[in-house]
């Protein structure tokens, strides 16, 4: 880790894996990775404070959920060129870039082959207890790597298969439990061929080694030993590389206050 030029300052309490291969979810058809302690409690709180202090119009209110889009909404699947604010960049993006994929000598990081070699877009979703997100695919605008940092509380992300007739199989094929401060990386077909969603429930149930794809990688499996996770407010940051960037954004950005 220490030999990587992208390495940001990592607080001593954060011990990242040597390679993503070490923390791969076994049992999923495509690569997915889970790091339970990706950021510290101080970093988590600092980001939550920044989210809370964003001006009101930054929030887009959906019927049950609200979200912020940074640096801005996509227009025709394009990003208007603008940098991410520092608090979304540091420490997360240098840290993402610091982890290599495998132990091979010249192994690259998860964004090495993406158009901009790092994420340029972050969605912030807030989920109150009882609120989730319908099964969906994320669409063609993004390079197929999604890095999700969870803040505040735990919940289950479900991965669904389509049935042969195209209908959604309502029973999730896999469930991934995301703890606060964790990083989940999902890639390729897991992202493009399957759907993902979060149930509208106040308690995740039937949590066990046999039902949770990342059980062995959890920070605190003992917290869920009774099979349940009572939902509290969970906020997620989803980092992605939007493939098409319109330079016009940079010019408009000069006129905007940051
Ligand atoms: O909050 C999450 O973990 C998932 C969010 C999501 O699926 C999305 O923003 O497309
Ligand atoms: Fe999504």
Q: Where are the domains of the chain?
A: 20-248
Average pLDDT of the segment spanning 107-123: 97
Rounded mean pLDDT of 225-233? 98
ipTM reported for the complex, 2 dp: 0.98
- Decide: 128 and 201 in contact? Cβ < 8 Å: no
Best residue for ligand 1 mutational test, from 238, 239, 240, 242 (most atoms within 8 Å of Cβ): 238
Cα–Cα separations (whole angstroms), residue 92 to 9, 24, 113, 116, 203: 10, 19, 19, 16, 29
pLDDT digits (tens, 9 = 90+) for 159-195: 999 877 888 889 999 999 999 999 999 997 787 789 9
Per CATH, the number for 20-248 is: 2.60.120.590
Spatial strand order of the sheet with 155-160 comes to: 133-136, 195-198, 155-160, 174-178
| pLDDT the model gives residue 4 | 47
The stretch 198-202 carries a mean pLDDT of: 98
- Report the distance separating Cα 46 and Cα 52, nearest Å: 10
For residue 187, report the distance from its CA to the centre of ligand 2, in Å: 12
pLDDT score of 191: 72
DSSP 217-258: G-S-GGGGTTS-EE---EEEEEEE-BSEEETHHHHHHHHS--
Q: Provide the pLDDT for residue 253.
A: 53
For residue 10, report the distance from its CA to the centre of ligand 2, in Å.
28
* pLDDT for residue 228 is more than 90: yes
Q: Map tokens 């495509």 to a residue.
A: 30
Count of CB atoms situated within 10 Å of the CB of 149: 27
pLDDT for residue 3? 46
> Separation of 125 CA from ligand 1 center, angstroms?
7
For the CA of 197, the closest atom of ligand 1 is 7
Q: 66-75, 122-131, 200-209, 244-253: which range is least confident on average?
A: 244-253
Average of pLDDT values for 205-218? 98
Return the ligand number nearest the Cα of 137: 2
């Amino acid at each position: 880790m220490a030999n990587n030029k992208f390495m940001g300052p990592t607080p001593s309490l954060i011990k990242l894996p040597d390679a993503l291969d070490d923390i791969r979810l076994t049992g999923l058809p495509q690569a997915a990775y889970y790091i339970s302690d990706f950021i510290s409690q101080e970093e988590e709180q600092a980001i939550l404070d920044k989210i809370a202090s964003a001006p009101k119009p930054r929030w887009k209110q959906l019927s049950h959920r609200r979200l912020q889009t940074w640096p801005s909404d996509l227009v025709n699947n394009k990003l208007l060129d603008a940098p991410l604010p520092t608090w979304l960049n540091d420490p997360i993006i240098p840290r993402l870039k610091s982890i290599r994929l495998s132990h091979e000598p010249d192994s690259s990081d998860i964004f090495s082959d993406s158009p901009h070699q790092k994420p340029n877009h972050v969605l912030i979703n807030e989920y109150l207890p009882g609120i989730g997100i319908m099964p969906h695919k994320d669409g063609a605008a993004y390079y197929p790597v999604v890095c999700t940092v969870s803040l505040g509380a735990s919940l289950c992300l479900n991965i669904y298969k389509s049935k042969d007739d195209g209908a959604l199989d309502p029973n999730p094929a896999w469930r991934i439990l995301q703890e606060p401060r964790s990083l989940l990386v999902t890639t390729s077909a897991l992202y493009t061929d399957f759907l993902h969603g979060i149930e509208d429930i106040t308690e995740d149930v039937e949590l066990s080694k046999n039902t949770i794809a990342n059980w062995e990688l959890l920070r605190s499996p003992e917290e869920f030993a009774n099979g349940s996770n009572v939902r509290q407010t969970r906020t997620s940051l989803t980092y992605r590389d939007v493939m098409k960037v319109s330079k016009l954004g940079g010019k408009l950005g000069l006129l905007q206050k940051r």
